[in-house]
Structure 1
Amino acid sequence: MRIPERTPLIPNGFEYGKVLEELIVLGRFMEFMEIGDQKYYYYDKWKYRAQEWGIDPHKLWGAVKVNRKISNNTLTISSVTGFTFSVGSPSFVQKYLHEFDLNLGGSLQGDAIIPSEDRDRYLISSLMEEAIASSQLEGAATTRRVAKEMLENNRRPKNASEQMILNNYEAMKWIVSNKDTPITIETIKQLHSILTKSTLSEAEEEGTFRKDDDVKVVDVQTGRPVYTPPKASDLDQLMKEFCDFTNDHMKLRFFLHPITKGIILHFLIGYIHPFVDGNGRTARTIFYWYLLKHGYWLIEFMSVSRIILNSKAQYSRAYLYTEQDDNDLTYFVNYNLRCTYLALEDLKRYIRRKSAEKQNAMTMLRNTRFNDRQIILLQEVIQDSTIYFNVRQVQNRFGISNQTARNDLNGLVNEGVFEERRSGNKSQYLPIKGFLKKITG
């Protein structure tokens, strides 16, 4: 990833009013104001605009900075140097937040997106997807298909990558079960220990703050350091103040939307870097945890990390833009709001597709004795006749008891569409040859 150039200092003798007058003369004033409200460009893009418009880029950047200083709010997390930030709420941020308020919380819109009878199944699938993507962001080297097979079958991890994915899955299940548990130093350490179990070089580093300053955030492609975290001696104070901010014990002079705040918590864990490793996974999990605590329940059905995984360079730049432009969090907020929006759209498309598939299968099988779960299994083998199932896999996928899963599979055997084969001490259930003709008559 190309490291963005640092923002320039405002030139001596800079006069805001004269720059605005120059923009008016050039016929660019309204465009300048609209870009400031509808986009949130870093200096590099403003520099190209300045060249296009025929204006000194440092002067144009000075006008941008004055506008942001007027409209943005100041957020001081700690007295430790480097922990005063700014955050803005331009129109595009408000639009995203309005969309999420309509869709991610409450019950009316949520019920419209996810049919209530399918929630358990979709929840299990989404938690798996988030666990896999978040781990792959941190370097887990395995395919989504292999990872999902491991989780569905409760198979033991074969390597560190699979262990990381299993840990992420257990952590996501933990926050769903503990969404009302306070976010404290102790629970953050507990969450980190779940996320890093058996994946760190030293087991005692699981759930423990780093004890030295031998840590730097580097560009994975070049190995070049891009950020040096705070000293280890400041971590106890910083994490206490992080928790004070998280739990509204820190009085703010302005309203901070809960989703914006959740994104800032995500940033802060990466910025503080309290652990030797696993900070990114912890940060993204805390984002989910915080939103669940504030009633945005639909977030647990969305994989934001899958969107981030497809735009890793932009994710890194969002951090760097904030750090290199006077700790302006709006860059990081903007990027994560867009990722959350895309994750919501992905979920809507996925639900529409699955609902259509379910309806097609139900139509084809409406005169049979198969239940909804059996119909879904039949639909999968219709699409891929080489796959097979076992009891534990069906139990985990649908969130049902072991006996219910066994009854579903044996029922398909009794109907003559599946056969049971032994593999060691386990049974595998797979479609018989010509099963489709048997179903359709």
Structure 2
Amino acid sequence: MNIERPPHISKNELVAAMLHQPSRQVGEMIDKINETFDYWDAVKYKKCPADCSPLQLWTLVKGARSRCSISIWDKYDIRLSLTSSMQRMCHLIDLYWGGSQGSNSIIDANNKKQYLDSSLIEEAIFSSQMEGAATTRRVAKEMLQKKMTPRDKSQQMIHNNYQTIQYIVDHKDASLSTDLLLQIHRLMTNNTMANPEDAGRFRSNDDVVVENGITHETVHTPPSYKEIPQFIDDLCAFFNDKNPQQFIHPVIRGIVIHFMISFVHPFVDGNGRTARAMFFWYMLREGYWLTEYLSISRVIARSKKAYEKAFLYTEIDGMDIGYFVAYHLKVLEQSFQQLQTYIKRKQEEKKAASRFLRMGNFNERQAQIIKLFADEPTAMVTIKDLEVKFGVSPTTAKSDIIGLLGENIVSEISLNKVKRAYIKGDGLDELLSKA
């Protein structure tokens, strides 16, 4: 991926830009550029006023960023230009991702398990597909829902990711430690490494580089493996310190853990999946419970080029992690919007099914089954399908079906000597005609 380097700005030019008071028009342009944290390759094409060239505009943008720059990681000279839009987004996350306000206004208590199961499956699938898992979403979802044994490496990656997320949820109150990080990597890469002993173990050489998947061009060379032990100690100290000298918003601190693991690349493989999992862990640890219901990796996977550029822009432009933070916050915003859309769709489906409740002595699940066959007369479902769909036990799913069999709403067919499935029964048309 060829990235044009930004023009060189001398220290004197940067100081002058920090002190300069631009015109209102230029000032508004700077604010807009920093709101989306644009890189030079976008700024240079901006239509500038007559008294301001693209280079002058870029210099003023850099001056504005320098005024709000804070140090993040001294060892690697990583800093953050903290913008107003970043702080505004963190404030909104505080309001809606943790505490009672988000709980009361976003997630319906009666459907929490259904939403949670769906989001965890989506997160596992997309995070793995980003790293090369070549299984379709439908096949992967069926494997996880029906708890099938993975048949190949791609399915194993997705299975591992799902198991790791569940482990993280169970250990969300733990402190960050070397053992925790290694265990998460071990779970994430189980039976997928060229050398099985590399699972849950830090790399011991400098043969690891990050390549462009298409051109195989080296886009990032991580620090030496000799720096990994100290890095891990620093990482644990950074995230376990409850009273840091410099306050950094918890959401941004979580984004930093994602970036730093990817930057240092402490493992032979699986760094990206582990980094995203550690962000997930840190958000839950800090009380942002709504993170469990989001498929963050789905948004990242669909904007993978921008994800990769956010890393590259950071390295090329003086290790300003603002590019990655701005990108990541946008991903979180889109994930939240997708969750709202998903919940609205499920609520509408439930509302549409409610009319079938008035047609007989049916419960809500049975009403949704009736709606399914009314909408798709050729559909076929199993007890396992209903368990997964409604998040109920086999006994409850079987009881729902028995009630519908008694009314001839569904019919039973044999798939093999032991397995049964259910299709539309003759009584459904009569029920619908009465409605």
Alignment counterpart, residue 314 of structure 2, candidates 300, 313, 322: 322
Partner of 1:8: 7
Partner of 1:149: 142
- Tell me if the contact between 1:50 and 1:60 (Cα under 8 Å) persists in the aligned partners: no
- Tell me if the contact between 1:389 and 1:428 (Cα under 8 Å) persists in the aligned partners: no
Q: Counterparts in 2 of 1:15-54, with a 5 A limit?
A: 16-17=15-16, 24=23, 28-49=25-46, 53=50
Q: Counterparts in 2 of 1:24-423, with a 5 A limit?
A: 24=23, 28-49=25-46, 53=50, 55=52, 57-76=54-73, 79=75, 83-248=76-241, 251-253=244-246, 255-423=247-415
Q: 1:215-267 deviations in whole A, cap 9, x for unaligned?
A: 110111211000001111211211121121121268342x2111111111111
Closer/same/farther in 2, CA of residues 252 and 412 from structure 1, 3 Å limit: farther
In the alignment, the residues of structure 2 paired with residue 353 and residue 284 of structure 1 have an alpha-carbon distance, to the nearest angstrom, of 27
Q: 1:349-391 deviations in whole A, cap 9, x for unaligned?
A: 1111110110110122234333233333333333334443333
- Tell me if the contact between 1:72 and 1:89 (Cα under 8 Å) persists in the aligned partners: yes
Task: Give the AA of the match of 2:130.
Answer: L
Task: Give the AA of the match of 1:269.
Answer: I
**Superposition deviation, residue 342 in structure 1:** 0.8
Task: Give the AA of the match of 1:71.
Answer: C
In the alignment, the residues of structure 1 paired with residue 16 and residue 157 of structure 2 have an alpha-carbon distance, to the nearest angstrom, of 55
In the alignment, the residues of structure 2 paired with residue 366 and residue 28 of structure 1 have an alpha-carbon distance, to the nearest angstrom, of 62
Task: Give the AA of the match of 1:235.
Answer: I
Local SS of the residue matching 2:422: strand
**What is the TM-score of this pair, normalised by structure 2?**
0.91
Closer/same/farther in 2, CA of residues 424 and 178 from structure 1, 3 Å limit: farther
Local SS of the residue matching 1:212: coil
Instruction: For CA contacts below 8 A with separation 6 or more, give which structure has more relative contact order.
Output: 1
Local SS of the residue matching 2:42: helix
In the alignment, the residues of structure 1 paired with residue 245 and residue 402 of structure 2 have an alpha-carbon distance, to the nearest angstrom, of 60
- Tell me if the contact between 1:124 and 1:398 (Cα under 8 Å) persists in the aligned partners: no
Closer/same/farther in 2, CA of residues 13 and 34 from structure 1, 3 Å limit: closer
Which runs of 5 or more residues in structure 2 are unaligned?
none
Instruction: Work out the percentage of aligned pairs sharing the same amino acid.
Output: 37
In the alignment, the residues of structure 2 paired with residue 189 and residue 124 of structure 1 have an alpha-carbon distance, to the nearest angstrom, of 25
Local SS of the residue matching 1:430: strand
In the alignment, the residues of structure 1 paired with residue 379 and residue 148 of structure 2 have an alpha-carbon distance, to the nearest angstrom, of 17
In the alignment, the residues of structure 2 paired with residue 186 and residue 12 of structure 1 have an alpha-carbon distance, to the nearest angstrom, of 43
Closer/same/farther in 2, CA of residues 277 and 438 from structure 1, 3 Å limit: farther
- Of stretches 311-320 and 413-422 in structure 1, the one that deviates more from structure 2 is 413-422
In the alignment, the residues of structure 2 paired with residue 229 and residue 439 of structure 1 have an alpha-carbon distance, to the nearest angstrom, of 66
Local SS of the residue matching 1:49: coil
Closer/same/farther in 2, CA of residues 329 and 69 from structure 1, 3 Å limit: same
Local SS of the residue matching 2:45: helix
In the alignment, the residues of structure 2 paired with residue 76 and residue 181 of structure 1 have an alpha-carbon distance, to the nearest angstrom, of 23
In the alignment, the residues of structure 2 paired with residue 12 and residue 125 of structure 1 have an alpha-carbon distance, to the nearest angstrom, of 51
**What is the TM-score of this pair, normalised by structure 1?**
0.90
- Tell me if the contact between 2:18 and 2:67 (Cα under 8 Å) persists in the aligned partners: no
- Tell me if the contact between 1:266 and 1:286 (Cα under 8 Å) persists in the aligned partners: yes
Q: 1:180-210 deviations in whole A, cap 9, x for unaligned?
A: 1222211111111211121122211111111
- Tell me if the contact between 2:404 and 2:410 (Cα under 8 Å) persists in the aligned partners: yes
Task: Give the AA of the match of 2:226.
Answer: S
**Superposition deviation, residue 297 in structure 1:** 0.9
In the alignment, the residues of structure 1 paired with residue 232 and residue 32 of structure 2 have an alpha-carbon distance, to the nearest angstrom, of 36
**Superposition deviation, residue 127 in structure 1:** 0.7
| Number of equivalent positions | 433
Closer/same/farther in 2, CA of residues 56 and 297 from structure 1, 3 Å limit: same
In the alignment, the residues of structure 2 paired with residue 284 and residue 228 of structure 1 have an alpha-carbon distance, to the nearest angstrom, of 20
Task: Give the AA of the match of 1:431.
Answer: I
Local SS of the residue matching 1:431: strand
In the alignment, the residues of structure 2 paired with residue 291 and residue 64 of structure 1 have an alpha-carbon distance, to the nearest angstrom, of 31
- Of stretches 105-114 and 348-357 in structure 1, the one that deviates more from structure 2 is 105-114
Closer/same/farther in 2, CA of residues 138 and 299 from structure 1, 3 Å limit: same
Task: Give the AA of the match of 2:287.
Answer: G
Closer/same/farther in 2, CA of residues 191 and 398 from structure 1, 3 Å limit: farther
**Superposition deviation, residue 306 in structure 1:** 1.0
Closer/same/farther in 2, CA of residues 438 and 116 from structure 1, 3 Å limit: farther
In the alignment, the residues of structure 1 paired with residue 17 and residue 416 of structure 2 have an alpha-carbon distance, to the nearest angstrom, of 81
In the alignment, the residues of structure 1 paired with residue 20 and residue 99 of structure 2 have an alpha-carbon distance, to the nearest angstrom, of 48
- Of stretches 193-202 and 337-346 in structure 1, the one that deviates more from structure 2 is 193-202
